[in-house]
Each structure stands twice: as structure tokens, then as C-alpha cells.
A and B are shown apart, each in its own frame.
Chain A
Amino acid sequence: GQQLNQSPQSMFIQEGEDVSMNCTSSSIFNTWLWYKQDPGEGPVLLIALYKAGELTSNGRLTAQFGITRKDSFLNISASIPSDVGIYFCAGNSGGYQKVTFGTGTKLQVIP
């Protein structure tokens, strides 16, 4: 099935550093979502974006809906050990919940 390209695939960062990751697609999306998945758990929604150019924050997390509607970015500021996990982007191009998920970015935070 179709997937979004997410980068980087994995990253190791020092505690306290800022993190950036992005998601690109060849298709236009109407909704962009960012999820975090901890080992053995289901994905948990972090941020939802509904409008091109929209910038939304959730604590130390900030995400943006790209103006071309084909990409989205997630930034995490001042990382902490509990930020460890896999971050997924997801896009919805309309209709009833037909969603495409990104390939995931695995984040490791070194204390």
C-alpha cells in the first residue's frame, strides 16, 4: 500500500537538544497527524493539522502543515528521555478515514 516518506528513519540525540523530523508525500492531503508509539503500545495522537500553513503546538511539540499540502514537519524542543519512541506521520486525503501512515522515525534520547 501507499506510504508517506518520513525522515530521518532514526536518530540519536542528547537530552536537551531539539529534534526535527518531516514527512513528504506525492499526494495532497487534507489532514496531517502526528502520532507517537511506545514499545508494545498503540500509537497515541500528538497533533492534528487541518489547514495548509497551519502551525500547532502541544507542549514542547510543534507541527506544521506544509503549504503545498504534500508535507508536514514535527519539532520537539528540549528533548527528555521519555520522548523516546517511534513517531509516525499520517495523512488523510478525504473520505471516511482513509489514511496513509508514514514509515516512522525512531527517536533515541541519550541522557
Chain B
Amino acid sequence: DSGVTQTPKHLITATGQRVTLRCSPRSGDLSVYWYQQSLDQGLQFLIQYYNGEERAKGNILERFSAQQFPDLHSELNLSSLELGDSALYFCASSVEPAGGKYRGLETQYFGPGTRLLVL
């Protein structure tokens, strides 16, 4: 158990709909990251938030948006869903290293993921 929780575990919806995925980071972690894992695209970084603010953006579609709330949980909103959005969505969290010596991804802990199926 990584300490990162994600809900729901599974989600089935129809094209054109909108869904919200939720992530609670590990206690004390300020950063939250969202990833999409599909069969043909592998694991893709979507977006990162640090202490409520967007820090980095990856391959996130305009139909998708995210936010991090004051209690540090994060939500990923997916709208106008298409069949190709079916994938596993992972959230990860990390704590910033001391002294600002940012080294990379070593402190990221992944949640169990939300499996989204768009019919």
C-alpha cells in the first residue's frame, strides 16, 4: 500500500459524458501527479500540482482539467469523453526534497489507479 488513494476504482460511462476522478496523496506530500495508461500509448504524464498550484503540464488534452484543493487532494476532470479516453488513470504523490535540491522522480508513490471505460 503506497498510501495514495484513488476513487473510484472502476468507472463505466458513455461517450460525451463528464467524469471526475479523485486522488488523496500520502500524508505530508504536497505534490500530486496524474498519469494516463492505455494499451497503445503506455504511461503518459498528464499534469502536476504542488500545494494547490499547477507546476507542470504534460500530454493533457484540453477536454481534461485538474485541480488540487487546500486539503491537498486532487481531482481530474474528463469531459466530452471519447472511446479513446478509456484507460487506467493513476495519481502519484511526492514530497519535495529538502534544500530545494530537486533530483527527479524518486519520491513519487503511485496510487492503485482508476480504470475508466467509455462505451
**Could you tell me which A residues sit within 8 Å of B by CB distance?**
1, 3, 30-31, 33, 40-45, 48, 50, 88, 90, 92, 95-104
Q: Report chain B residues within 8 Å CB of A3.
A: 41-42
Can you name 17 extra interface pairs (CB under 8 A) apart from A48-B104, A99-B58? A3-B42, A30-B104, A31-B103, A31-B104, A31-B105, A33-B104, A41-B112, A42-B2, A42-B110, A44-B2, A45-B108, A48-B103, A97-B45, A97-B56, A97-B105, A97-B108, A101-B43
**Contact status A45-B104, CB under 8 Å:** no
Number of A-B contacts (CB under 8 A): 77
Q: Which residue, of A42, A44, A102, has the highest number of chain B Cβ atoms within 10 A?
A: A42
Interface size class of B (residues with CB under 8 A): 20 to 34
**Contact status A43-B104, CB under 8 Å:** no
Asked whether B25 is an interface residue with its Cβ less than 8 Å from the other chain, the reply is: no
A-B contact list, 21 entries, CB within 8 Å: A1-B41, A31-B104, A31-B105, A33-B105, A40-B113, A42-B4, A42-B111, A43-B43, A44-B2, A45-B106, A48-B103, A48-B104, A48-B105, A48-B106, A50-B104, A92-B104, A96-B50, A96-B102, A99-B104, A99-B105, A101-B43
Contact (A42, B112) CB under 8 Å given A48-B106, A95-B56, A98-B56:
yes
Q: Which residue, of A31, A92, A99, A101, has the highest number of chain B Cβ atoms within 10 A?
A: A99
Asked whether B68 is an interface residue with its Cβ less than 8 Å from the other chain, the reply is: no
**Contact status B44-A44, CB under 8 Å:** no
CA gap between A42 and B113 in the complex, in Å = 6
**Contact status A50-B42, CB under 8 Å:** no
Kindly identify which residue among A41, A44, A92 contacts B105, using a CB–CB cutoff of 8 Å: A92
CA gap between A102 and B111 in the complex, in Å = 19
CA gap between A88 and B4 in the complex, in Å = 20
Residue ID in chain A nearest B31 by CB atoms = A97
B55 CB to closest chain A CB (Å) equals 5
**Contact status B48-A96, CB under 8 Å:** yes
Asked whether B72 is an interface residue with its Cβ less than 8 Å from the other chain, the reply is: no
Kindly identify which residue among B50, B58, B90, B113 contacts A98, using a CB–CB cutoff of 8 Å: B58
